[in-house]
Structure 1
């Protein structure tokens, strides 16, 4: 029997793959799996998604183009990953489960962000395009809600030029400065994140965990 719909619910605070990548001195991305440390959380989360997906959808394989509706429920309004980055984490686990053949099958997607302090989770529905189509509209509210305001993360507020001045060292392509403490560091003593855009020293990195 060919299936054209599947739903997956995974409890727990969703996490982003990008938050668990490290980069070596050559700029190569590393995703730890068995270091015994904090960064192993992503690998375990991916395995959990795969397990729950298969348990909730036994014997189902969706091989055609799909429409996805993803609802992400965070525990906190203030501290949570970028929702746009969550999809990669989730679909890696879904693909690993065998429910879908490849995450490239997702041709249309709607993502909604919610908050549930007692029951953080994500709920994903997958619809085969040969059977279903997507319709949506945006309407103006009759009464205006209080806006949810955003501000830049603390690490982006620091300008690298001002940090360089504080350390009395000119900023150049050959010099690296920790974006937390502002100190000049050697390449072999640095750790990069956010696709190499963020550089921190190993001392500050250890203080994060």
Structure 2
């Protein structure tokens, strides 16, 4: 019985949250055949499923699993939240039939890296009947420069919620990354995602 599998999918990893729309009742929907930009996630999920199956023919892991996920983003500054990546990836892995259900993942380590030339994710799955997980955190002998994450400013949040632009704050479209001017945008994903009206109109 096989207790190990590895999957490598090339391309910038994406998350489901960036491609959700909401219907008139406020319910989240995920388009898959509109022929528009929001179909991208569904296609990515299918790609994961096909690649996972082609790289692991005739393999089905049906026991509890340890997962080691390495995500390589193209840009260090602009990329999805790594914490949301796992669900997106395992949706495709489950669809491939490599695993029975993503509930099998009982322990997981996710590591974030950057590779401008070859963005991708690498996933290794280990059956707990044969493998165990051990890790340690060591204090560095030489302190390195910290990567600082600033919380969203209250005035920016207020600006997004009220759709009142602030002169010193720049917002960009989540699709085309161009600077948004004035009120020329639509909010999505409960205000977390901003889409310029030009890109929004292309979706329909």
Which category of TM-score, normalised to the shorter sequence, fits these structures? 0.7 to 0.9
1:99-126 CA-to-partner distances (Å, cap 9, x unmatched) read 0000000000000000000110000000
- For 1:80, the equivalent position in structure 2 comes to 79
Q: Name the count of aligned residue pairs.
A: 189
- For 1:55, the equivalent position in structure 2 comes to 54
CA contact (8 A) 2:186 2:197 kept: no
- For 1:101, the equivalent position in structure 2 comes to 100
Q: 1:81 to 1:155 in 2, by over 3 A?
A: farther
1:20 aligns with 2:19: yes
Aligned alpha-carbon RMSD (Å): 3.1
Give structure 1 regions of 4+ aligned residues with deviation exceeding 4 angstroms.
153-156, 180-183, 197-202
Q: 1:161 to 1:200 in 2, by over 3 A?
A: closer
- For 1:68, the equivalent position in structure 2 comes to 67
CA contact (8 A) 2:71 2:122 kept: yes
Using the size of structure 2 for normalisation, the TM-score is: 0.81
- For 1:32, the equivalent position in structure 2 comes to 31
1:150 Cα offset (Å): 1.5
Q: Which structure 1 segments of 5+ residues have no match?
A: 167-179, 184-189
Using the size of structure 1 for normalisation, the TM-score is: 0.79
- For 1:143, the equivalent position in structure 2 comes to 142
- For 1:193, the equivalent position in structure 2 comes to 188
- For 1:169, the equivalent position in structure 2 comes to none
